[in-house]
Amino acid sequence: MSACRVIAVVNQKGGVGKTTTAVNLAACFGVSERATLLIDLDPQGNASSAFGVSETPRQVYDCLIGRMAIKDAVLPTELSSLHLLPAGPDLVGAEIELVTADDRALHLDRALEDARNNYELIIIDCPPSLGILTLNALTAADSILIPLQCEYYALEGLARLMETRELIRDSLNPKLELEGIVLTMVDQRNNLSRQVEAEVRQHFGNKVYRTRIPRNVRLSEAPSHGQPILLYDIHSRGAVAYLKLAEEILSHHANEGTSSTPVSPSPGAIAGTTDAGELAPTDEASTPTKRETNHE
């Protein structure tokens, strides 16, 4: 098995598609049968609810404090190669409990020591802040992936985040790389969106992924059904975009031992596939089947 890579999906600004990116990238890696772990490190627990998990006696908090090994706390998902380490109510107090500890930034890194042997990719969904939980994620990660909404204030937040990364590299985790920047909620009809994209690409060059995530109703609907977009509507524009993004990320690491084969559903990877591993086609505008929604 290839060496494990730990990627923290981080942005201190909320509402930029951070959890959507973490959830759907993890699903794309898992659906191609790469052993993947998604860690929900956000007390809001949105990455957990995106897989239909709302209450569980096993949660990431137990691993942070050393009460339980990650292998004993993970939950299976509908994707055979993807496991979830969910958040829970106790995680709310972790910021307070850990802040006085001498090794407060190292708890997640220690918890991941054994897990790294079991997975090719570990994706961490960080809180929308630069507090102690995010600090733990950045200390444990090999790289950070930054979802960036194309708006003016996002550029200010990006500058602060890059400064934080440099501080972490200098003091706690010298190996921390910039995995890349992914543009989210892109609307090419918007002049500001195009201007922000041009500025980010000019400054960060090839660290900005070619793949952009469009505004997509199906992406917004999927979490309310407890499913990543690949399970909710694999033919939607959002699903296609995240599959392309996952393939682009893996191709960047082809020389590091990570396969660069196309990311696509493999036979048996998703519960409910046909014998040939194909999903029944769906209509972008079709009515959700699990329960009615009123999303616009």
Q: Are 266 and 277 in contact (CB under 8 A)?
A: yes
pLDDT given at position 284? 38
- Collapsed DSSP state (helix, strand, coil) of residue 75: strand
**Who's near 18: CB < 8 A, 6+ residues apart?**
9, 10, 11, 125, 126, 128, 147
What local confidence, expressed as pLDDT, does residue 255 receive?
54
Please give the full DSSP string across 141-167, using - where no structure is assigned.
Answer: -SEEEEEEESSHHHHHHHHHHHHHHHH
Give the max Cα distance, the chain: 54
Contacts of 79 (CB under 8 A, 6+ apart): 27, 30, 31, 228, 230, 231, 269, 270
| Per-residue confidence (pLDDT) for residue 295, from 0 to 100 | 35
Query: Would you identify the CATH topology of the domain 5-256?
Result: Rossmann fold (3.40.50)
**How high is the pLDDT of residue 280?**
35
Dist CA 278 CA 268 (whole Å): 9
- Report the alpha-carbon distance of residue 248 to residue 156 in Å, rounded: 26
Residue 175's CB is within 10 A of a number of other CB atoms, namely 8
How far apart, in whole angstroms, are the C-alpha atoms of residue 251 and residue 204?
19
| Whole-number pLDDT of residue 277 | 36
Regions in the chain scoring below 70 on pLDDT: 1-2, 254-296
pLDDT value, residue 278: 37
Distance from C-alpha of 133 to C-alpha of 81, rounded to nearest angstrom: 26
- pLDDT confidence of residue 93: 85
Residue 268, pLDDT score: 53
